[in-house]
Amino acid sequence: MIVSLSATSADVVEADDCTRLHVATSLSSGTADAALRASGIGRLDPGGEALLDLETLRTRARADAREPGWDEKWSKMIDYARGKGWVTDAAVRAHVEYGASA
């Protein structure tokens, strides 16, 4: 699952792929933080990683998902992230790939 981030939108693509999660953007880190906040999907933490709102991410991904069993795959992805310490009460941490085509 990829959050494709531009200055005006944050779109979830490849929603059926619950084996990975990252943000892809061509924006700078300062602009990416503003775009994440404006889109309502999250923000950057002080280390430059994205903190994505779990409910917003799930809602947007679910709308694009097509594979049967998606809800179970989502739960497994979040459980895995939680086990790694990447989940807070309301957000999941995701790597940001800068310079990526969004």
pLDDT tens profile 7-30: 999 999 999 999 999 999 999 988
Give me the pLDDT at residue 29, please: 86
Q: Is the pLDDT of residue 2 over 60?
A: yes
Q: Mean pLDDT across the stretch 50-70?
A: 95
Looking at the structure of the chain, the number of domains it has is: 1
Range(s) of the domain holding residue 9: 2-98
Determine the Cα–Cα distance for residues 20 and 97; give it in Å rounded to an integer.
Answer: 13
CA 22 to chain centre: 6
DSSP for 31-85? HHHHHHHHHTSEEE-TTS-EEEEHHHHHHHHHHH--STTHHHHHHHHHHHHHHTT
| 3-class state of residue 29 by DSSP | helix
- The residues, any chain, with a CB within 8 Å of residue 99's CB and separated by 6 or more, are 26
Q: Are 12 and 31 in contact (CB under 8 A)?
A: no
